[in-house]
Amino acid sequence: MTETANMHQIAFIFPGQGSQAVGMGKDLAEKYPIARQTFEEADEALGYKLSQVCFEGAEEQLRLTETTQPAILTASIAALRVLEDRIPRPSFVAGHSMGEYSAHVASGTMSFADAIRTVRNRGKYMQEAVPVGVGAMAAILGMELEKVDAVCQDAAQGEVCSPANINSPEQIVISGNTAAVERGAKLADERGAKRAKLLPVSAPFHCSLMKPAQDRLEADLNKLKMQRPVYPVACNVEASFVSDELRARSTLAAQVTGSVKWLQCMQLLIAQGVETFVEIGPGKVLCGLMRQIDRSKTCLNVGDEASLTKTLQQFEITAAAGS
């Protein structure tokens, strides 16, 4: 397909933790040598059969943070490699939390093997930063950011409680010490949130309790060979574009303790004229969030053979309409 078929700006977006499922990537790996090769590269980089965990489970193993993160990255890059020569190039890329590493691989900032090893360590460091039970996260639905901020401040009482994921106008996740997050969820309920619920997570991600993990990850990132990104990457922590390797390093490190400003990242891309978003990797979480952010935008997803076929058809229809 030619570049002229691209009527609007396109952004590739990549999912983070929570989108994993046993069987992810399996049908693409069976049908496309490039996808199979991607899983083989991951197995080699990690020194164990990550592909087997992705394709067959067990689910408990796939849910471990240090397995989940490289697994989603690998499934995402396998799907990307199958897709990328078949549709127009993106103008921008972005990824949700750990998905930002997939975005940097897509943009050529870091090699796939380096990214795989880095996110494995990232998962491990995040898991080890806080003893089990000390931290928690809760989803606050139907409450605007200013009110959630106020809830966090009032709930903290000398502990940590802060917005961790600003996912959409409808959904904000808070993170911190268990008691503070429980107080926050209760306060949000009392102050008119549609719903506030504690999440089944293994650690309080994206808050200041993760500082030990950030320090360890920063040391790893500083050792990596990185290039200037081919496509600007909308980074979570600042909701701004990263177009050089120094900022790629610093924003990826800061992201461990910083909020994931997904809503603001998507608004940034929309302001740049992006009309079509392609979620690449397992699940459709980001397309669901886009419906809450701006229903007028097209969000397609590619995670398996069926969704790949559907997305390619959509691009053919758009190209035909524009010719």
**Residues carrying an active site annotation:** 97, 206
Token digits of residue 220: 């790893």
* Residues whose CB falls within 8 Å of the CB of residue 163, separated by 6 or more in sequence, listed in order: 145, 148, 149, 152, 172, 173, 174, 175, 259
Among residues 216, 205, 212, 262, the alpha carbon closest in space to that of 237 is found at: 262
* Closest C-alpha among 12, 13, 25 to residue 88: 12
**Which of 243, 217, 5, 2 lies closest to 103 in space, CA to CA?**
243
The tokens describing 317, both together, are 């229809």
Angle value at C-alpha 316, between 284 and 30, nearest 5 degrees: 55
Q: Quick one: which H or E segment has residue 5? A: none
Q: Which two tokens stand for residue 194?
A: 């549609």
Question: Which 3 state secondary structure label does DSSP give 174?
Answer: strand
Beta-bridge partner residues of 287: none
Q: How far, in Å, CA of 270 to CA of 249, rounded? A: 25
> CA 239, CA 251: separation in Å to the nearest integer?
10
Buried b (16+ CB within 10 A) or exposed e, 236-257: bbbbbbbeebebbbbbbbebbb
Contacts of 130 (CB under 8 A, 6+ apart): 203, 204, 209, 210
Q: What are the structure tokens assigned to 56, written together?
A: 């067959």
